[in-house]
Amino acid sequence: MEQYRGAHHTIAAAIEAGHLDDELRSIANALNDRFAVLARLRAEHTLARIKVGGRVAIGADAQPQYLRGLTGEVHEIDGDMVVVCLGAPVGKFRSGHVRCAAELLEPLAT
């Protein structure tokens, strides 16, 4: 794969052209592993910056989409999951509380 890192070739282009077909399974596994590491690092970074009672915004990757950009107060932290109190019912979250992964949150200045 090293040969595809030059200025004229990218790994993505090599995959699209079929040059790495024999390695697709290992590439997919490596990508999934890397995505998991990045999610864990984002969660750790966020958890280090938030506390119960702090304000957060729900990020652009949240599902359902209507949660994106909403803000609320951290109600509970349980491992890498965070319960955010939005203050009012939103969609299927009738209590106004949303439990989501920490990496989906952005701490807000108070």
Q: How far apart are CA 10 and CA 7, in angstroms?
A: 7
Name the domain count of the chain: 1
Q: Which domain holds residue 72?
A: 2-107
The pTM is what? 0.74
Residues 9-36 have pLDDT tens digits of: 688 899 999 999 999 999 999 999 999 9
CATH number of the domain to which 49 belongs:
2.30.30.30
The per-residue pLDDT for 59 is 96
Closest CA to 50 of 92, 4, 6, 101: 101
Mean pLDDT rounded to a whole number for the chain:
91
Collect all residues with Cβ–Cβ distance below 8 Å to 100 and sequence separation of at least 6: 58, 62, 67, 81, 82, 84
pLDDT at 7: 41
